[in-house]
Amino acid sequence: MTRILDMSAEQLRTELEALEQEYASFVARGLSLNMARGKPADEQLELSMPMLDTLNSQSCWRSEDGTDCRNYGVLDGIPEAKRLMASMLDDEPENVIVFGSSSLTAMYDTVARCFNFGTTEGQPWCKETRVKWLCPAPGYDRHFAITEAFDFEMIPVPMNECGPDMDLIEELVAKDDQIKGIWCVPKYSNPGGITYSDEVVRRLASMTCAASDFRIIWDNAYCVHHLYDDVDMQDALLDIG
């Protein structure tokens, strides 16, 4: 199979026609599906209703280390919240920082900080003539909206059964120091539900990048969103840390 990047104008036209036909066949089915992200069903939303009644003016407001939770608190989160999140992430509480309730704002902020202030390894990305970003596709539209907002050149990388095409990624990052990062939804990635294999995780973690300030944004959004209760039926994901 020829990669899109390597196609001639004629091949691109043929590919476009084939994709348009495929798209039209989906449109013709008249489906009304939102595949953009994992939207919880009503039954799942119902599960969180009791939380709305958990706190009131009679509730205890001190965390276990004595922090008054009504006030400005600690930067990295109260111990109880760090422990809860660590249990979901299969990690240690000391590796957890609790932000606000939206991971997308945290991801936007991460990219914005690299853009404005740079990383410990390099100058601010706004000083680069061009910034490029790897986008495993199909992927998450709101990730792509962030890198688009910063006018990064987004390079699509095909998704395989085991994750993104690692041969292509390794080749690209090794030779181009303008490629500064990659979006990853490593578990049950939308829309195909693919979980990165151990080999893909290892290759991502150990690849040689021309950019010393290369960043992997590891959006493990669906770490507890298993389809089956049976542990043997759940996908396991290697810890990239």
Instruction: Quote the DSSP letter at residue 125.
Output: G
Q: Which CB, 68 or 141, lies closer to ligand PLP?
A: 141
Torsion region of 91: left, alpha or beta (phi above 0 gives left; psi -120 to 50 gives alpha): beta
Asked if 191 is part of the footprint of ligand PLP (rule: CB under 6 A), the reply reads no
Q: Which CB, 93 or 138, lies closer to ligand PLP?
A: 138
Instruction: Quote the DSSP letter at residue 74.
Output: -
Instruction: Name the minimum Å distance from CB 45 to ligand PLP.
Output: 13
Structure-token match 């809860």, residue found: 84
Task: Please give the angle made by the CA atoms of 241, 213 and 194, to the nearest 5 degrees.
Answer: 45
Asked if 225 is part of the footprint of ligand PLP (rule: CB under 6 A), the reply reads no
Q: Which CB, 136 or 211, lies closer to ligand PLP?
A: 136
Asked if 138 is part of the footprint of ligand PLP (rule: CB under 6 A), the reply reads no
Given candidates 135, 185, 209, 211, which one binds ligand PLP under the rule CB under 6 A? 185
Asked if 3 is part of the footprint of ligand PLP (rule: CB under 6 A), the reply reads no
The window from 25-33, 100-108, 172-180, 229-237 that contacts ligand PLP (CB under 6 A) reads 100-108
Q: Which CB, 200 or 211, lies closer to ligand PLP?
A: 200
How far is the C-alpha of 239 from the C-alpha of 205, rounded, in Å? 10
Given candidates 48, 102, 129, 206, which one binds ligand PLP under the rule CB under 6 A? 102
How far is the C-alpha of 2 from the C-alpha of 206, rounded, in Å? 27
Residue pair 180/234 in contact by the 8 Å Cβ criterion:
no
Residue pair 147/184 in contact by the 8 Å Cβ criterion:
no
Closest by CA to 98, choosing from 117, 119, 83, is: 83
With H, G, I as helix, E, B as strand and everything else as coil, classify residue 155. Answer: strand
Instruction: Name the minimum Å distance from CB 195 to ligand PLP.
Output: 13
Q: Which of residues 20-39 bind ligand PLP (CB under 6 A)?
A: 37-38
Residue pair 176/128 in contact by the 8 Å Cβ criterion:
no
Q: Which CB, 44 or 212, lies closer to ligand PLP?
A: 44
For ligand PLP, the binding residues (CB under 6 A) are 37-38, 102-104, 140, 185, 219, 221
